[in-house]
Amino acid sequence: MPWHVFGQHLATILGLVLGVLLVSRVLGQRESPSVTVAWLLLILFIPWLGAPLYLIFGTRKMRRTMVRKQPLFVARPRTGRDADDTYGIDATLRAAGQPPLRTGHRVEIAADGQDAWRRLVAAIDGATSSIWLCTFILKADEVGQAVVDALARRAADGIDVRVLVDGLGSWRTRRRFVAPIRKAGGEVAVFLPVQPLARPWSANLRNHRKSLVVDQRVAFVGGMNVGATYFGPEPDAAQWIDTLVEIEGPVVADIADVFRRDWTFATDRALEPFAAPSADPVPGHEAPARIVANGPDTPDDPYRDVLLLSMIGARKRVWIVTPYFVPDETLLQALLVTARQGADVRLVLPGSSDHLLADLARGHAVRMLAEAGVRIFLHPTRMVHAKLCLFDDELAIVGSANLDRRSLFLNHEISLLLLGKAEVADLRAWTERLMADCEQHTPKPGHALRLFAEDVTGILAPLI
């Protein structure tokens, strides 16, 4: 037998053996049937491609890698639903061990990237004890350099400066770029560095959280990474449209606690609660708020549960702003049912995002929603990177989580839930301004090849 023929047979046999060995692992994962079937088909029919892809991308909840990570939250006994529990969220999050609803917050929303820049710089410059920054991407550009310089300057002043970046999101950022922070006495850590030969890692399970906690008193949460793409001192037509919420009050302690646990995992060094001014209720402010932190370090999927409960419970309005729209079947059906009941359901997306596969994968779902009466808004020129959900006049959700399967089930994410009517109204006004710059989209019969690509990508959506 010629060697090349023998090699082909051997590769086929090895691929099949590896595929069969992975089948039990796939079946043992806590996945929806569609995700399980998609992986099984890919592994069994294209084993030489499916098997390595599953080993890199397939794991959903951290197992051995996360044994040493402190559980983010511990589930508490179920106590039933109170009469004033908005959409049943409180009972669900209590059962999942998420932090409770807190009151007494000052909440302000950045109008744009320049306003976000001013707020962040003012907070860093005004810090008196600590600055804790968590970001998925730290770009080595002029804005990233300005932030690094500001943090280094404050570290030299004796402020406790800590920066946590994701190993995959910031893999292009070299150590020398953040060296000034370390030289000034601050610390920089990498969450799950991409070092396949040195330690366990995963292309999934990334830390996608974005937060800044200053003096354990004020926090910023939203979708903005650090770089000129997201914010800066000057107007920039190429800048992405994004959200940033500044909040002061008791919930800041919960945001800091999420950072503390992520930092401890990334560095293998316990970061004890910091002796700083406590995040007390702010006099004259009553806004209720809470966080939802989800990811491989939580046993369930609390962010997805909150979305599902809110979609089903909303009676007047469900507005969603997201850069990538690849929902699971349950959330898609919830939106369809809510729209058919007569609620004002709107979806705001970029006309074209920075991920072609995500744009293709959303096509089938967008057509279904439009047919059910959902109003689709596409921004014609700019990337919409905001992650914002509005439900009636009762609830606004803003944070790092996209409405796609990666944010719902894979990444570490943090979201801020605002339940004050004034804060919900402010974010509704922000969304209305965004929609005024968008074009309402009515799906039309498209090119057959485009529709075919969207449908095929939609089938593979569980893997995207």
pLDDT tens for each residue of the chain, 464 residues long: 555 444 555 555 665 566 565 565 665 565 666 666 666 666 666 665 666 666 655 555 555 555 455 555 555 555 555 556 899 999 999 999 999 999 999 999 999 999 999 999 999 999 999 999 999 999 999 999 999 999 999 999 999 999 999 999 999 899 999 999 999 999 999 999 986 555 555 566 899 999 999 999 999 999 999 999 999 999 999 999 999 999 999 999 999 999 999 999 999 998 876 554 467 899 999 999 999 999 987 878 999 999 999 999 999 999 999 999 999 999 999 999 999 999 999 999 999 999 998 998 999 899 999 999 999 999 999 999 999 999 999 999 999 999 998 999 889 999 999 999 999 999 999 999 999 999 999 877 666 666 666 666 666 665 56
* pLDDT the model gives residue 456: 67
Distance of CA 79 to the CA centre of its chain: 29
Please tell me the distance from the alpha carbon of residue 349 to that of residue 440, in angstroms, as a whole number. Answer: 10
Residue 23 makes CB contacts below 8 A (sequence gap 6+) with 40, 43, 44
Closest CA to 219 of 137, 291, 136, 297: 291
349 and 386 in contact (C-beta within 8 Å)? Answer: no
The tokens for 128 are 């008196």
The one-letter amino acid code at 458 reads G
Joined together, the tokens standing for residue 71 give: 């559980």
Predicted structure pTM score: 0.86
The CA angle 46-51-55, to the nearest 5 degrees, is 155
Q: Dihedral of the CA atoms 248, 113, 180, 191 (nearest 10)? A: 70
Report residue 167 CA to chain centroid gap.
Answer: 16
What pLDDT was estimated at residue 296?
85
